[in-house]
Amino acid sequence: MLSHERVWAAIDALAARYELSASGLAKRAGLDSTAFNKSKRTSADGRPRWPSTESLAKIFDATGATFEEFFVLVRGGSNMPTGARRTEAAVPLIGFAQAGAGGFFDDSGFPVGQGWELVEIPSATREGTYALEVQGDSMLPLYRNGDRLVVDPQMSVRRGDRVVVKTTGGEVMAKVLTRQTQKQIELASLNPEHGPRTIIAGEIEWIARIVWASQ
């Protein structure tokens, strides 16, 4: 039976699977760090407060977990053997400076060449997925210097997605896609000190969705 207690227990279990606290999971999902605190699970008058479907969707997006995996946790089970660790995959690690230089990507945003440093991420990945290492503070408060953004060039992008965009001028940026037409894309900045951007289609070399981030 779906209950308030089991849903919140599943969120706690999912956070533990990725070696996060409830606050860490909320932060990774782009939510307020207190969103999943135990004090937020009931209203001021004592009524149960349920997590929103939007919050759950952001959790799945940030961790790579599926609804099916989450539902198993809601039922009080696990789709992993007792004592087993989550599966990990090795992906190439590329710095933002490298990403902006020529010769490292094909026209679709896939990394080319050999000899990349490989890093482990806690989810299955498709061929072509890679990690970008954040440099500097332009993406605060969501992403900090040294965080790694896992990018999947094969995944379609839609409004509200966090994306990495490379322009024909060599600029590489992580933004939120707010609108996309045949003529241009509109992007919101992660850092409130930076304004929104509009880029015409002819100046976009590639755009890829951020599917996971290490924080």
User: Which residues share a beta bridge with 209?
Assistant: 152, 163
**44-97 pLDDT, tens per residue?**
888 899 999 999 988 888 777 777 778 878 876 544 433 334 456 677 788 776
Residue ranges of the chain that CATH labels 1.10.260.40: 4-74
Return the structure tokens found at 198. Answer: 């509009």
Asked if residues 10 and 22 have their Cβ atoms less than 8 Å apart, the reply is no
Residues in CB range of 124: below 8 A, 6 or more apart: 64, 87, 89
The pLDDT, as a whole number, for residue 84 is: 36
The pLDDT, as a whole number, for residue 198 is: 96
Q: What is the distance between the alpha carbons of residues 7 and 13, in angstroms, rounded to a whole number? A: 10
Domain at 4-74: CATH code: 1.10.260.40
Considering only CA atoms, give the Rg of the chain.
19
The pLDDT, as a whole number, for residue 82 is: 36
Q: Which residues of the chain have pLDDT under 50?
A: 78-86
Q: Which segments of the chain does DSSP mark as H helices, in order? A: 4-17, 22-28, 53-63, 67-74, 96-100
Residue ranges of the chain that CATH labels 2.10.109.10: 89-214
The pLDDT, as a whole number, for residue 86 is: 44
> What are the helix and strand counts (H, E) for the chain?
5, 9
Angle between helices 67-74 and 53-63 (to 10 degrees): 110
Q: Note if the pTM is more than 0.85.
A: no
CATH superfamily entry for domain 89-214: Umud Fragment, subunit A (2.10.109.10)
The pLDDT, as a whole number, for residue 80 is: 40
